[in-house]
Structure 1
Amino acid sequence: MGFFTKTRRSGARLNVPALVQVAAIAIILIRCVDLLMLFNLLGWKGLQELIFRSAQTWSLTLVFLASLVLLFVDILCAFSVVKGRSWARWLYLFAQISAFGYLWAASLGYGYPELFSIAGENRREIFHSLVMQKLPDIMVLLLLFIPSPSRRFFRLQ
């Protein structure tokens, strides 16, 4: 059984492995839950204050815009991996490495705003909290890169 099946109406149709479908759905759900938790944490006034504060300086504006771009890149990657685009899983990996690096730096006091930092008493505690926070993304990356059906799916496209 191949990755393509022929139907009368649509011609060739792509059979997406279940693991890739789960990974794509997980990416979208993780981002939606992240946004809901952020809105719950800040509330309407806190969200307005974050946007207002982000517009105060160029560095904060760039961080805010970069976080929005990262959100849209993640969602683009989710839709693209289902279409079999191998570049999308690599872009998702790069986006997660970038987000992890920025959160690590912000948590150690090298970035703004404080909203993007992880609380902890020492580097080990911060790193553990950060890994636990990024665990769903790590699991998605494992689904996209490790299982042989996923690798074969992206190789054939």
Structure 2
Amino acid sequence: MFRKRSQIQAKLNAPTLVLVAAIAIVTTRMLDLVLLFNLLGVRGILDFVHRSVQTWNLTLIFLASLVMLCIEIRCAFVIIKGRNWGRWLFLATQVIAVGYLWAASLGWGYPELFSIPGESKREIFRSLFTQKLPDLLVLFLLFIPARSRLFFKLQ
């Protein structure tokens, strides 16, 4: 019934690396949205949404991408609380995103909605790796350091 003081403090104090990872998730997602709005403008965003809802398949992919964005942001807040399932869910969203981007870029799925331009598979892979490098760093901060792993085991 009574917990030790150290256990209570462990729940309140997340390691710095975990906090940096969670803040990085939220920051990169919000920055991506701001840069997308800046690049496309209001008219471009409306055209993008209009193209995305032309067919049921495109609509489902568009809605799924929005749901994944919300899940990733939710994972960031759950990770700060020390919930182990949050980091695993974030890993799963990254695997799904990379898998779909790779498939769409190679011509499977709907490349006009989400694809990475490139002449060859190697060029596409290099661009995909460059785009996902911040997320790989976040995953590294969540899974590799001993303090991060210990933090999630204590919760």
Q: TM-score band (shorter)?
A: over 0.9
Helix, strand or coil: the match of 1:116? coil
* TM-score (norm. length: structure 1): 0.91
The match for 2:67 is 69
- Number of equivalences: 151
Residue 114 of structure 2 aligns with which residue? 116
Question: Percent of aligned pairs with the same residue?
Answer: 62
Q: SS at 2:116's partner residue?
A: coil
Amino acid at match of 2:122: R
Cα distance in 1, alignment partners of residues 73 and 151 from structure 2: 20
More strand by share: 1
Contact 1:60-1:113 within 8 A present in 2 as well? no
The Cα of 1:4 is off from its aligned counterpart by: 3.3
Alignment of 1:136-147 (within 5 A): 136-147=134-145
Runs of 4+ in 1 over 6 A off after TM superposition: none
- Hey, which of these two has a bigger chunk of helix by percent? 2
CA contact (8 A) 2:105 2:116 kept: yes
Cα deviation, 1:1-23, whole Å, max 9, x if unaligned, reads: 94633xxxxxx851100000000
Q: Deviations over 1:34-91 (max 9, x none)?
A: 1112112221111101111112100100010011001000000000000000000000
Instruction: With the length of structure 2 as denominator, give the TM-score of the two structures.
Output: 0.92
Aligned CA RMSD, in angstroms, stands at 1.6
**Amino acid across the alignment from 1:153:** F
Q: Match for 2:70: what amino acid?
A: F
CA contact (8 A) 2:11 2:81 kept: no
